[in-house]
């Protein structure tokens, strides 16, 4: 394939000592992932620059590099050639890592400690994968602060002042709600260490959490007419518009989370029974919902006109290379784009597509839907979780206000 891309100059790239032997396989791999010939050609053209970087670092074979070391070669892009070289580094690292042709990364004491803690959380507490990732990230930050890799024995000598110093440092960039989650993670981690005799007793009892009061945040819902305006403003003349409209309509109709939208597959849409089965990892059990005519039409339009044929079974795919299923961030990006284009003014704290879940809950409540039914639709286990979505706004408070007795009105007029 290298010869087809560079009929005259292919020998120039094939003769590179380190990279010359990987070009054909890399080109085929990129082609299968949906990259056009022009994008593949630009990456190969940056090969001579990457070859120079490898030689400067004394690399004699790509097999002696780890994925982290190879990615570290990509500098902060300043010039156009830097951008091309960075794109080549990312693609080459993913290609070699997928084929197992890179040196395995060595695990550090911090990595081992975090892995042990995650296995404990999964096996004993049964936490979901997304929660395990967040907990592991916070514990990693704490261990790096303690310089655990250089001094693993410091956990046995841990003091309350060390924990306070980490919390004070994190408090410079985190709000009260995030700090509350961080301190909960620290207490759980220290409890785990205390049970194994790896840290002094009583440290977790000295960690105090910031106070977050129930109902202190403003309602995150937006008027239902604004939701309808957002959906109408989506330009469905392009593949991206068809995909974004279907994703946003699913959230506005069923109150799905962005992760649930991204996880939908073709098998989850039951066309014959006119149902949609929503996987809900956070709850643990899928939810079976009726497939409305509006949602079915939006999905059919996207599948027929917007979704390119693919080996992936995911319902929503990327519209740009590399081809593949979307991530949850793609749903948030789509929401931000169309909100900006239609000019909706979001209230403070209502940023992101999650506000559509809140808006649906408030809309259903005003339509007379029972709170239990709303909670079941949103995937909540308790009514208390649902009530967070149903905080009343000023208009609702005016409706519940009692009229003054006639005697009081006459007294005020006097």
The set of catalytic residues is 257, 282, 354, 357, 380, 389
Q: Rounded to the nearest 5°, which phi and psi values hold at 212?
A: -120, 115
Q: Output DSSP code: residue 255.
A: -
Tokens standing for residue 81:
């050639």
Q: Rounded to the nearest 5°, which phi and psi values hold at 76?
A: -65, 120
Alpha-carbon distances, residue 127 vs 122, 260, 287, 386 (angstroms): 5, 17, 20, 21
Of 47, 89, 44, 88, the closest CA to residue 67 belongs to 89
Q: Rounded to the nearest 5°, which phi and psi values hold at 377?
A: -65, -40
Of 30, 83, 92, 90, the closest CA to residue 323 belongs to 30
Pairwise CA distance, residues 139 & 187, whole Å: 11
Q: Are 334 and 244 in contact (CB under 8 A)?
A: yes
Residue 274, phi-psi category: left (phi > 0), alpha (psi -120 to 50), beta (remainder): left
Q: Are 6 and 41 in contact (CB under 8 A)?
A: yes
Q: What is the number of other CB atoms lying within 10 angstroms of the CB of residue 239? A: 15
Of 172, 330, 171, 169, the closest CA to residue 264 belongs to 330
Tokens standing for residue 150:
């250089």
């Amino acid at each position: 394939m290298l010869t087809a891309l560079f009929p005259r100059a292919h020998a120039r790239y094939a003769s590179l000592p380190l990279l010359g032997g990987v070009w054909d396989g890399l080109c085929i791999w990129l082609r299968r992932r949906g990259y056009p010939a022009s994008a593949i050609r630009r990456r190969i053209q940056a090969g001579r620059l990457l070859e120079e970087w490898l030689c400067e670092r004394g690399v004699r074979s790509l097999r002696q590099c780890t994925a982290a070391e190879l990615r570290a070669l990509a500098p902060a892009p300043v010039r156009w050639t830097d951008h091309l070289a960075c794109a080549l580094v990312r693609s080459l690292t993913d290609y070699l890592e997928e084929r197992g042709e890179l040196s395995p990364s060595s695990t550090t004491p911090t990595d081992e400690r975090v892995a042990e803690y995650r296995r404990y959380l999964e096996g004993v507490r049964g936490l979901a994968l997304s929660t395990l990732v967040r907990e592991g990230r916070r514990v990693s930050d704490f261990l790096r602060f303690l310089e655990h890799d250089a001094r693993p024995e410091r956990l046995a000598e841990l003091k309350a002042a060390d924990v306070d110093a980490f919390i004070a440092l994190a408090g410079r960039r985190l709000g009260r709600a995030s700090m509350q989650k961080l301190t909960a993670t620290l207490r759980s981690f220290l409890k785990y260490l205390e049970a194994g005799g790896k840290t002094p007793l009583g440290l977790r009892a000295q960690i105090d959490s910031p106070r977050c009061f129930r109902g202190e945040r403003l309602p995150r819902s937006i008027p239902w007419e604004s939701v309808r305006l957002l959906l109408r403003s989506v330009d469905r003349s392009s593949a991206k518009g068809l995909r974004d409209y279907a994703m946003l309509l699913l959230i506005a109709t069923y109150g799905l989370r962005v992760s649930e939208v991204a996880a939908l597959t073709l098998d989850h849409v039951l066309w014959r029974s006119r149902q949609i089965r929503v996987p809900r990892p956070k709850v643990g059990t899928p939810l079976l919902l009726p497939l409305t005519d509006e949602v079915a039409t939006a999905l059919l339009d996207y599948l027929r006109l917007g979704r390119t044929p693919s080996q992936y079974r995911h319902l929503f795919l990327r519209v740009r290379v590399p081809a593949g299923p979307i991530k949850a961030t793609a749903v948030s990006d789509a929401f931000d784009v169309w909100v900006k284009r239609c000019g909706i003014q979001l209230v403070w704290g209502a940023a992101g597509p999650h506000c559509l879940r809140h808006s649906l809950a408030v809309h259903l409540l005003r339509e007379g839907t029972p709170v239990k039914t709303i909670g079941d639709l949103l995937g909540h286990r308790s009514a208390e979780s649902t009530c967070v979505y149903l905080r009343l706004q000023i208009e609702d408070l005016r409706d519940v206000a009692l009229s003054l007795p006639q005697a009081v009105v006459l007294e005020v007029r006097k």
